Amino acid sequence: MLKTLFFFMTCLFTLNISAQGKLEISHLTGDFYIYTTYVDYEGTPFPSNSMYAVTPDGVVMFDTPWDTLQVVPLLDSIKARHGRDVIMCIATHFHDDRTAGFDILKRLGIRTYSTLQTYELCKVTNRPLAEFILSGDTVFNIGGVEFETFFPGAGHAPDNIVIWLPASQILYGGCFIKSTDAGGLGNLSHADTKSWETAVEKVMGRYPDAMYIIPGHEGWADRGSLKYTYELLKEANGMKKEKNYKEKQFEDK
């Protein structure tokens, strides 16, 4: 019942910025908002969730829009809605749905951050680079809003981090966390499913009181997405283990 109420309250606060529906801003709780952009994937618009926090000192973005055409409309919409400018953005890993807008943000004087590992992966793969580098897990306090970055280990990508906002018990997971709407683990081109399973265990143990859990794609209203991700990984790793066992049995014959 509470989950259903949360979903419908979220829908009430959803704002379609463009006629094509390529950018949506939804109120999460307090001064925190989810924004979603879309790209065509195999002929179908596919959503990417990111987040921002409104503080007295300015707005902090977690990840950039996937669709770079929506970066400036997003900034303009934030300014119109909250009367504040975006002052910084942190990427949670190196893929385009997290870093594509970095160059635009830098040109506009907005501080961009990533871990050193993300920076190096962006450099190798010719993606936009952050201006500032996080040397490790970092605690920020921007305008009285505290949040921390945490690297739990390789998962969806070698460099994926999560962001925890303790006052509101928000866990922003990016692509490290799969939505309960997802039919599987999705893009595994840079994934390490064995490490990912262990990393999810670390996150569940570190943030057991999370009230809001935000995945990188698809629906985010269901708070069971972290547990769902763990179940997907256990299943995938179990199947992989069984396959490896059968292949070894065949080789031994």
String of DSSP letters for 1-64: -HHHHHHHHHHHT-EE-STT--EEEEEEETTEEEEEEEEEETTEEEEEEEEEEEETTEEEEES-
The pair phi, psi for residue 233, each rounded to 5°, is -70, -40
Q: Which two tokens stand for residue 110?
A: 């907005």
Report which of 181, 172, 182, 174 is spatially closest to residue 212, judged by C-alpha positions.
172
Tokens linked to 124: 């190798």
Catalytically annotated residue among 16, 141, 187, 244:
187
Please spell the DSSP secondary structure of 166-183, one letter per residue: TTTTEEEEETTS--TT-S
> Looking at 97, 159, 160, 217, which residue is catalytic?
97
Q: If you ran DSSP here, which 8-state letter would residue 61 be given?
A: E
178 near 214, Cβ under 8 Å? no
- Active-site annotation holds for 156: yes
Q: Do 232 and 185 contact (CB within 8 A), yes or no? A: yes
Of the candidates 49, 63, 67, 156, the residue annotated as catalytic is 156
Distance CA 84, CA 69 (A): 21
Mapped onto helix, strand or coil, the DSSP state of residue 130 is coil
Among 63, 95, 159, 217, the active-site one is: 95
Examine the residue annotation and report whether 27 is marked as an active-site residue of this protein.
no
CA separation for the pair 90, 52 (Å, rounded):
10
- From 93, 159, 160, 217, active-site residue: 93
Annotated catalytic residue 217: no
Residues acting as catalytic residues: 93, 95, 97, 156, 187
